[in-house]
Amino acid sequence: MKITRTEVEHVSRLARLALSTEELDSLTGEMDAILGYVEQLATLDTEGIVPTAHAVPMENAFRPDEAKDGFTPEQALSNAPDAAESAFRVRRVIE
Amino acid sequence: MTVYDLTLAELRAKLDKREISAVEVTKTYLDRIAATNPALNTFITICNETALAEAQAADQAIAAGKAQALTGLPIAAKDIFNTAGLRTTCASRILDNYVSPYDATAIARIKEQKAVIVGKLNMDEFAMGSSNENSAFGPARNPWNQDLVPGGSSGGSAASVAARQAVASLGTDTGGSIRQPAAHCSVVGLKPTYGRVSRYGVIAYASSLDQVGPVTRDVRDCALMLQAIAGYDPADSTSVNTPVADYQSNLTGDLKGLKIGLPKEYFVEGLDDDVRKAVELAADKYRELGAEIIEVSLPHTSYAVACYYLIATAEASSNLARYDGVRYGLRAENTENLVDMYMQTRAAGFGSEVKRRIMLGTYALSSGYYDAYYLKAQKVRTLIRQDFLNAFESVDALLTPVAPTPAFALGEKVNDPLQMYLSDIYTIPVNLAGTCAMSLPCGFSTDERPIGLQLIGKPFDEATLLRTAHAYEQATDWHKKQANI
């Protein structure tokens, strides 16, 4: 086994993703199969190979630090599930 | 010949000669969409009112002598592009009620030319899939045979052009999501070089791989669409400030001295016989046209799918963290606390393939596994990219199949994620290498399913890629065949 059900449960908490019992069962099998498949990468010698994070060689992209118009508060809040004044409202975080 | 059978370039000429108005063209297309969408389910949103207003504005521009290449032409966009004032769902329940407050740059550019946006197209949820079956709004169907998938993730983008519901469309391609559906629907699809087209305002899946591109009826239309959307955008720091060629003027038909490579690793077991024959016949056609065909090697090809599914899922797990029920989209009710709200919102909002990829990516990035999975995949990516750069030392383009088989049946692969992933084996390496490639029609299987030819070009050399594709298209009739719908 590449991955256990307990590990899948742990990853679901890291991903902030609630999973049903059935989902946990099926994902454990599916992730195990996929991780078994990707195992083939381990057979390649990559000693000294520089990792590619980005396919086009680029340096940092800079631009002048100038103020520009952005969204109005109304636009920014236009899709909010819950808003109050000019803020997104969520449940109390500190009890 | 009806209005919707004309190519973009043909319609342009008719509009400019005032033989037809943009409003008439748009009405014809909206009627066509209304008549065919119930069967094909290619559109998530149809823009009846806004499209007619845009067409009126286009007619005014044409009357004022200010027509540009796309003025008055009915174009549809994958529902991954932010479009100001229009619902943008990414085919997900989590964005079911999301209305974009702004336009993606690619949308803004076609709007600047006064193109008419006729609707937002179906896709696999968050662009994760190869069949369009992972849509929260139900699968789109293949116009050539409605029992078949149109391919994915830009299934609606390819099927709508094949069904003549739009003259052209915009899609995105992370591992083949423009090219594979284009092949399955017998239309032309281009994935430009990473950095060629701005991704600003395109809902992110895997940021180091995602690229915007057009789907069209033929190669000339593809050149016109790319011309409109290509180029540096200060709002996308990964777009590259490099000159954009005049693509249409490059369509000379001249292939003298052109060297085309056939990667031997692409013609192996698992490749369907009909696909192999069609692609080999295309290579013969290129010889006739004066190109030199050379066998080349891309030795790390077999590692590409594994490499992709670690890098893409890792990036996706990070990108999709933003869907938490706070600022937009779905929010779960009756939750215990803030973290529970996040967890229940995501549980209710994401479909099973999206959950699977978030989980895989989170695992690949998690403490203790990062080096073995994500970092290892990035190193293998270097080897795959180097394969292409080495091949391009001796050839100008590569010729391959787009997909190992023609379009498969709806439901055929839904229960086997790994088999679904392997259907992208010939397209994924191009995204990992970051270069450009396109799909164009090259035949049909014995049971009448479309087959696509993939041409892969050097980084930022879309001009040669389009010229190579155009010469083949001029010498064949595949692009003229139409789905009977």
ipTM of model: 0.96
Percent helix, strand, coil in chain B (nearest 5)?
45, 15, 45
Domain boundaries, chain B: 3-257+395-480
> Average pLDDT of chain B?
97
Q: Which residue type sits at A68?
A: K
Note down the domain range covering A19: 5-43
Q: Which residue type sits at A18?
A: A
Q: Which of B10, B15, B27, B39 is nearest to B160 (CA)?
A: B39
Contact B382/A51, CB-based, under 8 Å?
yes
Angle at the Cα of B390 from the Cα atoms of B278 and B452, rounded to 5 degrees: 20
Read off the pLDDT band of B420 (50, 70, 90).
confident
B396: region left, alpha or beta (phi > 0 left; psi from -120 to 50 alpha): alpha
Percent helix, strand, coil in chain A (nearest 5)?
40, 5, 55
Residue B20 CB neighbour total at 10 angstroms: 15
Is the overall model pTM greater than 0.90, yes or no? yes
Determine the pLDDT at residue B16: 97
Contact A88/B194, CB-based, under 8 Å?
no
Q: Chain B contacts of A27, Cβ < 8 Å?
A: 355-356, 359
Q: Is B256 a catalytic residue?
A: no
Chain B contact probe: residue of A7, A12, A14, A16 with most B CBs at under 10 A: A16
Are B395 and B347 contacting, i.e. CB atoms less than 8 angstroms apart?
no
Q: What is the distance between the alpha carbons of residues B485 and B481, in angstroms, rounded to a whole number?
A: 12
Q: Please report whether residue A25 resides in a domain.
A: yes
SS3 B398: strand
Q: Which residue type sits at B251?
A: L
SS3 B275: helix
Closest partner CB to B101 (pick from A14, A20, A71): A71
Q: What is the distance between the alpha carbons of residues B280 and A38, in angstroms, rounded to a whole number?
A: 31
* The dihedral formed by the CA atoms of B73, B106, B112 and B88, expressed in degrees to the nearest 10: 80
Helix axes A5-14, A21-38, angle to 10 degrees: 100
Q: Please report whether residue A30 resides in a domain.
A: yes
DSSP annotation of B371 reads: I
At residue B93, does pLDDT exceed 90?
yes
| Average pLDDT, integer, range B258-277 | 95
| Average pLDDT, integer, range B89-116 | 98
Closest alpha carbon within chain B to A89:
B326
Contacts of B334 (CB under 8 A, 6+ apart): none
Angle at the Cα of B400 from the Cα atoms of B397 and B404, rounded to 5 degrees: 160
SS3 B388: helix
Contact B359/A15, CB-based, under 8 Å?
yes
Determine the pLDDT at residue A92: 84
| Whole-number percent of chain B with pLDDT over 70 | 100
- Residue pairs spanning A and B at CB distance below 8 A: 164
Q: Is B317 a catalytic residue?
A: no
pLDDT digits (tens, 9 = 90+) for B117-164: 999 999 999 999 999 999 999 999 999 999 999 999 999 999 999 999
Q: Please report whether residue A68 resides in a domain.
A: no
Angle at the Cα of A31 from the Cα atoms of A26 and A32, rounded to 5 degrees: 100
Out of B21, B78, B131, B154, the active site residue is B78
| Average pLDDT, integer, range B250-260 | 95
Tokens of B344: 């229940």
At residue B306, does pLDDT exceed 90?
yes
Q: Chain B contacts of A14, Cβ < 8 Å?
A: 362, 366
Q: Chain A contacts of B435, Cβ < 8 Å?
A: 55
DSSP secondary structure of B66-114: ---TTTT-EEEEETTB--TTSB--TT-GGGTT-B-SS--HHHHHHHHTT
Contact B379/A50, CB-based, under 8 Å?
yes
Are B439 and B186 contacting, i.e. CB atoms less than 8 angstroms apart?
no
Read off the pLDDT band of B422 (50, 70, 90).
confident
Are B325 and B345 contacting, i.e. CB atoms less than 8 angstroms apart?
yes
Out of B135, B160, B169, B177, the active site residue is B177
Q: Which residue type sits at B293?
A: I
Q: What is the distance between the alpha carbons of residues B338 and B329, in angstroms, rounded to a whole number?
A: 16
Domain count within chain A: 1
| Average pLDDT, integer, range B398-402 | 98
We report the CATH number of the domain holding residue A36 as: 1.10.20.60
Closest partner CB to B346 (pick from A17, A58, A71): A17
pLDDT digits (tens, 9 = 90+) for A17-56: 999 999 999 999 999 999 999 999 999 999 999 999 888 8
Q: Is B78 a catalytic residue?
A: yes
Are B168 and B225 contacting, i.e. CB atoms less than 8 angstroms apart?
yes
Q: Order the strands of the B116-121 sheet from edge to edge.
A: B43-46, B116-121, B74-78, B168-173, B211-216, B188-191, B436-444, B450-457, B397-401, B259-263, B292-296
Closest partner CB to B343 (pick from A16, A40, A88): A16
DSSP secondary structure of B152-219: SSSHHHHHHHHTTSSSEEEEEESSSTTHHHHHHHT-EEEEPPTTSB--TTBPPS-TTT-EEEEEESSH
At residue A94, does pLDDT exceed 90?
no
Read off the pLDDT band of A95 (50, 70, 90).
confident
Helix axes B8-16, B22-40, angle to 10 degrees: 150
Tokens of A6: 């307990």
Q: Please report whether residue A55 resides in a domain.
A: no
Q: Which of B215, B370, B400 is nearest to B304 (CA)?
A: B400
| Average pLDDT, integer, range B86-95 | 98
Closest partner CB to A79 (pick from B99, B344, B418): B99
Contact B326/A81, CB-based, under 8 Å?
yes
Are B23 and B62 contacting, i.e. CB atoms less than 8 angstroms apart?
no
Q: Please report whether residue A89 resides in a domain.
A: no
Determine the pLDDT at residue B21: 98
Read off the pLDDT band of B386 (50, 70, 90).
very high
Q: Which helix (H) or strand (E) element contains residue B443?
A: strand B436-444
Q: What is the distance between the alpha carbons of residues B107 and B86, in angstroms, rounded to a whole number?
A: 12
Determine the pLDDT at residue A64: 87
Residue B62 to chain A, least CA–CA distance (Å): 32
Contact B343/A17, CB-based, under 8 Å?
yes
Determine the pLDDT at residue B417: 82
Determine the pLDDT at residue A93: 83
Closest partner CB to B379 (pick from A38, A51, A55): A51
**Which of A61-75, B12-26, B423-437 is predicted with the least confidence, judged by mean pLDDT?**
A61-75
SS3 B50: helix
Q: Please report whether residue A77 resides in a domain.
A: no
Q: Please report whether residue A52 resides in a domain.
A: no
At residue A57, does pLDDT exceed 80?
no
Contact A46/B360, CB-based, under 8 Å?
no
Q: What is the distance between the alpha carbons of residues B282 and B265, in angstroms, rounded to a whole number?
A: 18
Determine the pLDDT at residue B196: 98
Q: What is the distance between the alpha carbons of residues B157 and B204, in angstroms, rounded to a whole number?
A: 17
Residue A86 to chain B, least CA–CA distance (Å): 12
Residue A79 to chain B, least CA–CA distance (Å): 5
Q: Which of B261, B260, B265 is nearest to B299 (CA)?
A: B265
Read off the pLDDT band of B274 (50, 70, 90).
very high
Distances (CA, A) of B146 to B142, B151, B440, B485: 5, 12, 21, 10
Q: Please report whether residue A31 resides in a domain.
A: yes
Architecture of the CATH domain B3-257+395-480: Alpha-Beta Complex (3.90)
Instruction: List residues bridging with B293 in a β-sheet.
Output: B260
DSSP annotation of B415 reads: T
